[in-house]
Structure 1
């Protein structure tokens, strides 16, 4: 009985974590396409 409840709770938890991860990433995924220019002051440190 405990194993069945534990499995269902872990499945629910994994589903919720996946949902939160996709929700958090989706609005910000467009910013991945934007790559700003590196300032000259930072280029000197490389």
Structure 2
């Protein structure tokens, strides 16, 4: 049982490390559509 838990821990660490490397190197494209939102004047106190 001790060998299985050690294997499971190593497997989890490898998966987390691989996911971290993937997210660090992934070139996420920037959004292409502009965002515009009109805010009412009464929302901001003077």
Question: Structure 1, unaligned stretches of length 5 or more?
Answer: 34-46
Q: Structure 2 length as normaliser, TM-score?
A: 0.57
Structure (1 or 2) with the larger CA radius of gyration: 2
Question: Structure 2, unaligned stretches of length 5 or more?
Answer: 33-46
Any runs of at least 4 consecutive aligned residues in structure 1 with deviations exceeding 4 A, and if so which? none
Q: Structure 1 length as normaliser, TM-score?
A: 0.57
